Amino acid sequence: ARHLYICDFHKNLIQSVRNRRKRKGSDDDGDSPVQDIDTPEVDLYQLQVNTLRRYKRHFKLQTRPGLNKAQLVEIIGCHFRTIPVNEKDTLTYFIYSVKNDKNKSDLKMDSGVH
């Protein structure tokens, strides 16, 4: 049998989300995004300027031309935090993709998965 393991960081992250929901007494189905103070932040400064520009172009963010990296990170960070995420579905799909060795090119050919 083939075994895939998740790293400790992501395992702890998943468990902390589960525990946080249990402590809150949330019995909802996860349709609304959970906004907690201890939600991990994404360090957009780790990305290259070209990647930030592609993000800006993909989401059609209106900005003035010639922004530096810090300005792009600020604008993209504000937009990124407004994107609603269904954590349950996202984590389920992520684990499914890892276990089945799916990558971006596989997803384009697989019409049943969005």
pTM over 0.75: no
Confidence at residue 4, expressed as pLDDT on a 0 to 100 scale: 61
**Which stretches in the chain have pLDDT values below 70?**
1-6, 18-40, 103-114
Confidence at residue 109, expressed as pLDDT on a 0 to 100 scale: 54
Angle at CA 95, nearest 5°, toward 112 and 33? 85
Confidence at residue 87, expressed as pLDDT on a 0 to 100 scale: 86
Confidence at residue 98, expressed as pLDDT on a 0 to 100 scale: 87
List Cβ neighbours of 44 (8 Å cut-off, separation of 6 or more): 52, 73, 76, 77, 80
Confidence at residue 68, expressed as pLDDT on a 0 to 100 scale: 93
Confidence at residue 3, expressed as pLDDT on a 0 to 100 scale: 55
List Cβ neighbours of 34 (8 Å cut-off, separation of 6 or more): 17, 20, 21, 26, 87
Confidence at residue 51, expressed as pLDDT on a 0 to 100 scale: 94
